[in-house]
């Protein structure tokens, strides 16, 4: 009863600023939860929140030993969370940054269609000749660090140039080629490899690199397998395979058009568009 009175008194004494403060904090926590929902960080974060809530409860009930243990556990739990989930935290911060500053989303429909057509044509030809290729289309996450690992090109996107870049035993064929807006900006770039252990063991470093960059950015990465000619697409940490020219063009247009319009949650839409035969095959 006494606790209830304290709560009622606190609410009565609350100023508009305090109320605004609570709403902002609640909104931030809601956003953070949405970002880590369905990731491996979710369970650990739930555990930390539970400890956080149990501290005042144990103090109120005078459970001194439990209160002491919880007080000691919380900082360790938070530190563990930051260390283990550094990639997720990084992605979350990048996501917040992305929402604030739109980077290289092509606005003009004609340019978008031209870039996609050139990329898809090159990919189809590379697939037919079983020439390995890794093409990254930069979106809102800036890829300057990755671009700097390769050789600067700065040429208008064309299928002929893309096909030429990946010709075996030429200087730029190894590594990834990065497209920014309607230009090929760099080739021979080194991408971060994924740490995901659930990936089909038959897939080598080219595919692991594509998944790696899609985990660390919102880039769209197209892979042509040198071994089989199979065309794959890595987006948001997931890999979908066996695209043909039309299917690839269709999904690229949908994703890029959607990002231009930004109507609803990107992840939800992508889940619907991409029929995932295997999540990561
Ligand atoms: N970190 C990286 N960043 C960019 N490109 C990479 C990276 N690691 C490997 N590659 C590219 O992948 C090539 C090696 O491909 P590998 O055969 O290991 O992969 P794969 O996934 O089995 O592909 P494929 O089906 O084409 O054989 C390298 O020659 C290089 O061009």
Residues 139 and 21 in one domain: no
Distance from residue 226's CA to the centre of ligand 1 (Å): 9
Domain end position, chosen among 63, 97, 131: 97
In-domain check, residue 275: no
Q: Is 231 in the pocket of ligand 1 (CB under 6 A)?
A: no
Q: How far apart are CA 159 and CA 174, in angstroms?
A: 18
Residues 131 and 15 in one domain: no
> What does the mean pLDDT of the chain come to?
85
- 177 Cβ neighbours under 8 A, 6+ residues apart: 133, 134, 135, 136, 150, 153, 162, 165, 166, 184, 186, 187, 188, 189
Predicted confidence band at 276 (pLDDT cuts at 50, 70, 90)? very low
Q: Is 134 in the pocket of ligand 1 (CB under 6 A)?
A: yes
pLDDT higher than threshold 70 for residue 103 = no
ipTM of this model? Answer: 0.96
Residues 137 and 257 in one domain: yes
The reported pLDDT for the residue numbered 264 is 46
Most confident residue range from 30-39, 81-90, 247-256: 247-256
Q: In what order do the strands lie in the sheet with 176-180?
A: 151-156, 183-189, 176-180, 133-137, 220-224, 231-235, 238-240
Q: State the residue range of the domain holding 64.
A: 2-97
Work out which ligand 1 atom sits closest to the CA atom of 202. Answer: 22
Residues 122 and 254 in one domain: yes
The reported pLDDT for the residue numbered 274 is 58
Residues 55 and 86 in one domain: yes
Distance from residue 279's CA to the centre of ligand 1 (Å): 20
Distance from residue 209's CA to the centre of ligand 1 (Å): 7
| pTM of this structure | 0.69
Q: How far apart are CA 256 and CA 139, in angstroms?
A: 9
């Amino acid at each position: 009863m006494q606790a209830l009175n304290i709560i009622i008194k606190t609410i009565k004494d609350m100023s508009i600023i305090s109320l605004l403060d609570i709403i902002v904090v609640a909104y931030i926590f809601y956003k953070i939860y949405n970002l880590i929902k369905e990731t491996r960080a979710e369970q650990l974060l739930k555990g930390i929140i539970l400890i956080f809530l149990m501290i005042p409860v144990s103090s109120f009930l005078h459970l001194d030993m439990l209160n002491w243990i919880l007080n000691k556990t919380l900082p360790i739990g938070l530190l563990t969370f930051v260390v283990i989930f550094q990639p997720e935290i990084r992605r979350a911060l990048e996501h917040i940054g992305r929402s604030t500053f739109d980077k290289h989303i092509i606005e003009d429909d004609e340019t978008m269609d031209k870039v996609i057509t050139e990329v898809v044509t090159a990919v189809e030809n590379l697939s037919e000749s079983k020439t390995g290729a890794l093409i990254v289309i930069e979106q809102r996450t800036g890829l300057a660090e990755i671009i700097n690992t390769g050789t600067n090109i700065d040429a208008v996107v064309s299928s002929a140039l893309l096909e030429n870049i990946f010709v075996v035993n030429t200087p730029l064929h190894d590594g990834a080629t990065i497209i920014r807006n309607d230009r090929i900006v760099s080739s021979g770039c080194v991408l971060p490899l994924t740490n995901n252990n659930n990936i089909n063991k038959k897939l080598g470093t080219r595919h692991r690199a594509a998944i790696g960059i899609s985990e660390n950015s919102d880039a769209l990465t197209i892979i042509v397998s040198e071994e089989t000619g199979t065309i794959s697409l890595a987006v948001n940490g997931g890999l979908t395979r066996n695209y043909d020219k039309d299917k690839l063009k269709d999904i690229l247009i949908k994703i890029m058009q959607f990002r231009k319009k930004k109507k609803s949650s990107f992840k939800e839409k992508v889940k619907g568009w991409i029929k995932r035969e295997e999540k990561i095959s």
